[in-house]
Amino acid sequence: MAAPVIVTGAAGFIGMHVAERLLARGEAVVGVDEFNAYYDPALKAARAARLEPHPAFRMARMDIADAPALAALVAESGARRVVHLAAQAGVRHSIENPFAYERSNLAGHLSVMEACRHAPGFEHLVYASSSSVYGDRPGAGAGFREEDAVDAPVSLYAATKRACELMSHAYGKLYGFPQTGLRFFTVYGPWGRPDMAYFSFTEKILAGEPIEVFGQGQMARDFTYIDDIVDGVIGALDHPPELGVNRILNIGDSRPVGLMDMIAVLEQALGKTAQKVFLPMQPGDVTTTYADISKLAALTGYAPKVSLEEGLPRFVAWRRAFYG
């Protein structure tokens, strides 16, 4: 069998789905995850349990910031491609626990790059950046473009993700291996992260508790369904840039939805009306996200298919089946 693809964060939301897609098309996959307690480890264990029966999958439980261990894994596996999705996520958590972002996002990214640059014949590192690097800016009727200025982050999380892009640029110039940084816009769907608004809103609505609507409900997000995200990740992986190039690509839906519209779709899917408490913007949050996806589309044929009106009910159906 060909060398495996390493997927870091394989017990995470996007990581599990990417690993499943790779396995489904006949790839061998080595997953890496530390199963930390940022959110319910039982959900991460359940995701891993979907992957582990596959004969071409194995999970390595480790901290990606443990550089010697990760380097040994890459060398031992013979991997030539890495999809690096492990990170400390969450804008709000970065205010409460900043040093977690230093280790996972900065030291972790450096550890991954070091392992890749020492791997013989290394072909492609695809890594997760974030739409948060664009800062708080109006949509102005057009999507955020990769060439836009990204020098005004409003959260430590955003700053670490931009730092990862700059680190990768330097490593590409120094060591000549191809990299693609994907700026993810709000990803949702089955097996999602409980700290995301659509997930936490669901839990509170089902429990009959009020939901906190920040930004007085005036925010908008480029909600992107998980299956569409996986299409883009795999497409990018299959189209590496030239040696030494650190390519940056947006990966989103390109159809921003207002927060109140999202809540209305969720209420309909749940068959319950939410009690809403309107509050000001939280520190570190942004008003709008809006992806210009023309570069990824031209490279891979990427074309998001699942609307929020279709995707949120799929999430609700999964949530009812998983939690009862």
Backbone angles phi, psi at 83, to 5 degrees: -110, 105
Q: Helical H runs in 130-178?
A: 156-175
- Which active-site residues does the annotation give? 157
Radius of gyration of the chain (CA): 19
Q: Bridge-partner residues for 276, per DSSP?
A: 211
Better pLDDT: 17 or 220: 17
284 to 128, 262, 290: CA distances (angstroms): 19, 21, 17
Confidence grade of residue 257 (pLDDT, cut at 50, 70, 90): very high
Query: Model confidence over 180-209: pLDDT tens digits?
Result: 999 999 999 999 999 999 999 999 999 999
Considering the entire predicted model, what is its pTM? 0.96
- Residue 90: the pLDDT is 83
Measured from the Cβ of residue 27, the count of other Cβ atoms closer than 10 Å reads: 20
Q: Give the percent of the chain with pLDDT over 70.
A: 98
